[in-house]
Amino acid sequence: MKLSSFLFAMLYAYAVLSLQAEAKTPQGEVKGHASAHDAVSSRKAISNAQIALPGSVTGGDIYLGLLKNAPTLLDKKVPVVVFLHGSSGLGLQAIGQWQQWLAGLGIASLAPDSFALPDRLAYKSPVGKDIYEKIHALRSSEINLAIQALKTIPWADSQRLALAGASEGSVAVARYSGEAFAGRIIFSWSCENNYFVASPDTAVLDGRPIINVISASDPYFSSANEWLGNASAKGNCIEAFKGHANASVVLIPDAPHTLLNLPMARQAVAAFLANLFRL
C-alpha cells in the first residue's frame, strides 16, 4: 500500500470512529435560567421540604409530608438526616420510601425542595460543565438553608445531624467541608473528574465519617457511560478517600443509579448511622 493510501485509510478510520463516538453521546438540553435562591424561594425550599418523623416525635404513626404541614409534635429530640435530592426532584418515589425507612429506625429527615426556585436551571445530560457548576452551587446553598432551619426546629437534635444526597445532590454533599454534620452519605456519585464537574473538590474531614454507596456499574459515573469523559475512572470515591480511615465505599454489583432502597444499601446506611448517632 502506498503511503498516501495508508494515510487516507487511517484518516478515514479515525473519522468513522469519531462519528461513532458522537453518535453514542446523547443530545443534552438546558431548561430554565435561575441558579440562585432569593429570599422567597429560600423560605419555600424549606417550608416545602419533604420530612419524615418517627413515632417517638409524632406520638403515633410516622409522618411523611411537607414541613409546613407537620402535625403537633411531642417534646422529643431525634437525630436528623438532611437529604439533597437528585435532578428529578422530590417527586421520585424512592426518596419518600427511604425517608419512611429512616423514620422506622427512629431517625428524622428533611429534604429541601430545590425546585421551589421559579424557572430553576435544569438539564438533560450531557451539557456544559458551566451549567453543572451553577447547579452544584445552588445545591450547596441549600445545605446552609437546612442548617439554619434546623436551629429552629424543636425535634432536631443538633448534636446528631448527618448530610446525605443522591446523584446531583451528592456533589454538594461531597464538597461540604463545614462542621454542622457528624457524618455524610454520598449516593450515586463517584467523586471523580468527569463530564459532571469542573473539578470534584471532595472534602474528607478527620473525625467525621463519610460513606459512598454506588453501583459498581453506575450508568452515569462509571465506565459504563460511554461519554463519561474519564478513561481511567474508578467509578466510585475510593481515590478521593485514600488515607482516611473514617471513609468507606460500598459498591453494589449490577445496581441501578437510584439504589437508596436496595437491601445492601439500606444495610450499609443503617450500620453507618447507628454508629454515627450512637443508636
Q: What is the pLDDT of residues 174-207, one digit of tens each?
A: 999 999 999 999 999 999 999 999 999 999 999 9
pLDDT computed for residue 5 by the predictor: 53
Indicate the burial class of 262 (C-beta count within 10 angstroms; 0-12, 13-18, 19 or more). middle
Closest by CA to 72, choosing from 90, 53, 93, 88, is 53
User: Can you list the alpha helix ranges (DSSP code H) found in 106-158?
Assistant: 129-150
Number of structural domains (the chain) is 1
Is residue 190 in some structural domain?
yes
Is residue 241 in some structural domain?
yes
Closest by CA to 82, choosing from 191, 189, 157, is 157
Is residue 28 in some structural domain?
no
* pLDDT tens profile 248-263: 999 999 999 999 999 9
pLDDT computed for residue 73 by the predictor: 87
Please determine, for residue 2, whether its predicted confidence score (pLDDT) is greater than 60: no
Is residue 26 in some structural domain?
no
pLDDT computed for residue 225 by the predictor: 97
* pLDDT tens profile 124-165: 999 999 999 999 999 999 999 999 999 999 999 999 999 999
Residue 260 is part of which domain span?
34-277
* pLDDT tens profile 27-86: 999 999 999 999 999 999 999 999 999 999 999 999 999 999 999 888 999 999 999 999
Q: Which three cell numbers stand for residue 27?
A: 443530545
Please determine, for residue 102, whether its predicted confidence score (pLDDT) is greater than 60: yes
Q: Which three cell numbers stand for residue 160?
A: 446528631
pLDDT computed for residue 1 by the predictor: 44
User: What is the spatial distance between Cα 30 and Cα 22, in angstroms, rounded to a whole number?
Assistant: 19
- Contact (Cβ atoms closer than 8 angstroms) between residue 85 and residue 111: yes
Is residue 235 in some structural domain?
yes
Is residue 169 in some structural domain?
yes
Is residue 21 in some structural domain?
no
CATH number, residue 40:
3.40.50.1820
Is residue 106 in some structural domain?
yes
User: What is the spatial distance between Cα 229 and Cα 232, in angstroms, rounded to a whole number?
Assistant: 9
